[in-house]
């Protein structure tokens, strides 16, 4: 058995060509960018990840704006004092969260298995693998959707919303799951733009358009709005499927799935279903405990919720990088190229932290004007926001450790981390919130994030043998310190002005100073050399 495993590893470790026909368009773009920057072939992975990350950031930005715009449209359409906005939010979020569980980890399984097959030069097997993953997600989704249809009546009485809204949500969760599996396959090909087009841009904007059309045709009601949400996911699924079929049609030979593939996917995905639920619950556990102890109508609940939302914005760059990094992890780990994976992990984590530092400094130095975006009274949450930022910056500083565990097949440990973290967050919140209120909730979340990320870092080191730090990581300290000084001075100068002036002025000064300081002191020798070659080849 050991000998055959070694032979398989040796075969997998051979240099494999890219799929015929240029299926890896993102890799082609990586070669073009690398050539433009004057970089060697070995940097292609870095450039591909960087290009995909840029697409992710644009897509996430559009998604956030479109979602916010849809919230405004719904709130204004149903009028002040209406419960419709809350009912629609609960129904659509229920569909999204349950859909995250019913895809049964098949989205991440698709990323991993497709990346591995392409890395071995057997990309023609990708369709067969994703076909099985889709069937698993469809079976799980149909079962849960049927149960949700049966429970629509009790849910409507419990949550005081029309039962037809929950029936529409039950149908929507099926397509929430299927779309993500097809997009996972595309990410396994190291193509990010499909997620951008079908999900972050396509689904969010189509929901707005379909809702307006449905209101005009059938009336402005909660069930119609939720049904339009489901229709947007049907459209996203069709677009994701079309992209997937187009890309995989370029493989010269369509291969069948390996024997036992379905069983392997089920074994991999089983821990991901509860982990996906727990990952969503972690964002709201301390908030739920706080809502239980605060008196009804206490504005502190809304202020704390806004603080949580702001702190979560810190992981925007981490999310963007992790989505692109994941298939590289699966591919390199399967081929036994640990040194290359280790170097890539270090570079990606440093990039992630470097891209996050300006936003972190703005939130720490000028939290009041940041929170006042939500309303004039929201600046009371400045201390809670600063506590929450402690947990989030640790989250960012360890990089994509959680994605690495998933991509190397350690989904059981990923579930264990989430389950333990959920228990810790709940326990600390129950103990502290009655005495400290929102401060206790913030401490609970920050403590949980620190614990979970340190544990993930340890598990990655133990099972994969890599870690994200080197001497270049410390180079970020000087640009951060210089920027903090200038931002503090700018905030002191603008604080007497209106809060938008303070926010924009402090942020603009910080962005300019940080970019300058990073280019002078934060670049590695390789990055500095690439920049100089690029400037020489492209003079102003």
- Backbone angles phi and psi of 349, in degrees to 5: -65, -40
Give the DSSP H/E element, type plus range, for residue 493: helix 477-494
User: Between the CA of residue 348 and those of 115, 151, 351, what are the distances in Å?
Assistant: 18, 45, 5
**Cβ atoms within 10 A of the Cβ of 242, count?**
13
Q: Can you give the residue ranges of every domain in the chain?
A: 43-270, 271-469
**pLDDT attached to residue 368:** 92
DSSP summary character for residue 520:
I
**pLDDT attached to residue 52:** 65
Spatial contact of 194 and 164, defined as CB atoms under 8 Å apart: no
**Cβ atoms within 10 A of the Cβ of 425, count?**
26
**pLDDT attached to residue 14:** 35
Q: What is the DSSP string of 399-418?
A: -SHHHHHHHTT-HHHHHHHH
Q: Which long-range contacts (CB under 8 A, 24 or more apart) does 120-123 make?
A: 120/11, 120/12, 120/16, 120/334, 120/335, 121/14, 121/16, 121/17, 122/255, 123/19, 123/23, 123/189, 123/248, 123/251
**pLDDT attached to residue 3:** 43
DSSP summary character for residue 258:
P
**pLDDT attached to residue 305:** 78
Average pLDDT along the chain, 540 residues, taken 10 residues at a time: 41 35 40 42 62 71 79 75 70 82 91 91 91 95 91 74 85 94 94 89 94 94 93 97 94 85 91 83 80 77 81 83 86 91 90 91 94 81 94 93 92 93 94 94 95 96 94 92 96 92 95 94 82 70
């Amino acid at each position: 058995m050991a000998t055959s495993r070694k032979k398989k590893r040796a075969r997998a470790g051979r240099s494999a060509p890219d799929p015929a026909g240029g299926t890896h368009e993102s890799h082609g773009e990586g070669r073009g960018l690398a050539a433009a920057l004057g970089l060697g072939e070995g940097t292609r992975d870095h450039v591909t990840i960087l290009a995909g990350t840029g697409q992710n950031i644009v897509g996430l930005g559009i998604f956030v704006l479109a979602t916010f715009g849809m919230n405004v449209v719904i709130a204004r359409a149903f009028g002040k004092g209406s419960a419709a906005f809350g009912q629609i939010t609960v129904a659509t979020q229920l569909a999204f969260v349950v859909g995250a569980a019913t895809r049964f980890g098949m989205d991440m399984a698709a990323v991993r298995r497709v990346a591995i097959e392409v890395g071995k030069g057997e990309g023609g097997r990708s369709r067969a693998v994703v076909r099985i993953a889709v069937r698993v997600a469809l079976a799980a989704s149909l079962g849960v959707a049927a149960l949700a249809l049966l429970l629509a009546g009790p849910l409507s009485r419990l949550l005081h919303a029309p039962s037809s809204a929950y029936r529409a949500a039950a149908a929507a969760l099926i397509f929430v799951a299927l779309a993500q599996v097809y997009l996972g396959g595309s990410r396994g090909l190291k193509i990010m733009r499909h997620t951008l087009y079908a999900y972050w841009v396509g689904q969010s904007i189509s929901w707005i358009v379909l809702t307006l059309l449905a209101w005009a045709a059938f009336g402005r009601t909660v069930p119609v709005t939720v049904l339009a949400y489901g229709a947007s996911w049907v459209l996203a699924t069709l677009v994701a499927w079309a992209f997937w079929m187009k890309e995989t049609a370029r493989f010269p030979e369509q291969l069948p799935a390996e024997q036992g593939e379905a069983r392997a996917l089920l074994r991999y995905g089983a821990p991901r279903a509860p982990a996906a639920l727990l990952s969503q619950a972690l964002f709201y556990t301390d908030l739920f405990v706080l809502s239980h102890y605060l008196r009804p109508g206490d504005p502190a609940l809304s202020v704390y919720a806004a603080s949580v939302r702001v702190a979560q914005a810190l992981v925007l760059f981490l999310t963007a990088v992790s989505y692109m990094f994941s298939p590289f992890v699966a591919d390199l780990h399967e081929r036994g190229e640990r040194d290359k994976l280790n170097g890539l992990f270090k570079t990606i984590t440093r990039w992630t932290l470097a891209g996050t530092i300006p936003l972190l400094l703005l939130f720490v130095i000028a939290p009041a004007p940041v929170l006042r975006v939500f309303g004039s009274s929201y600046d009371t949450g400045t201390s809670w926001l600063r506590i929450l930022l402690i947990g989030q910056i640790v989250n960012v500083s360890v990089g994509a450790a959680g994605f690495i565990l998933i991509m190397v097949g350690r989904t059981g440990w990923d579930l264990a981390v989430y389950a333990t973290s959920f228990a810790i967050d709940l326990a600390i919140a129950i103990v502290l919130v009655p005495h400290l209120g929102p401060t206790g909730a913030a401490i609970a979340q920050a403590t949980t994030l620190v614990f979970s990320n340190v544990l993930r870092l340890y598990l990655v080191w133990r099972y994969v043998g890599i870690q994200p730090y080197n001497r270049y990581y410390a180079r970020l300290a000087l640009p951060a310190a210089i920027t903090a000084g200038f931002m503090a001075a700018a905030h002191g100068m603008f604080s007497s002005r209106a809060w938008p002036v303070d926010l924009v002025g402090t942020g603009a000064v910080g962005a300019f100073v940080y970019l300058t300081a990073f280019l002078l002191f934060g670049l590695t020798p390789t990055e500095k050399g690439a920049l100089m070659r690029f400037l020489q080849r492209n003079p102003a």
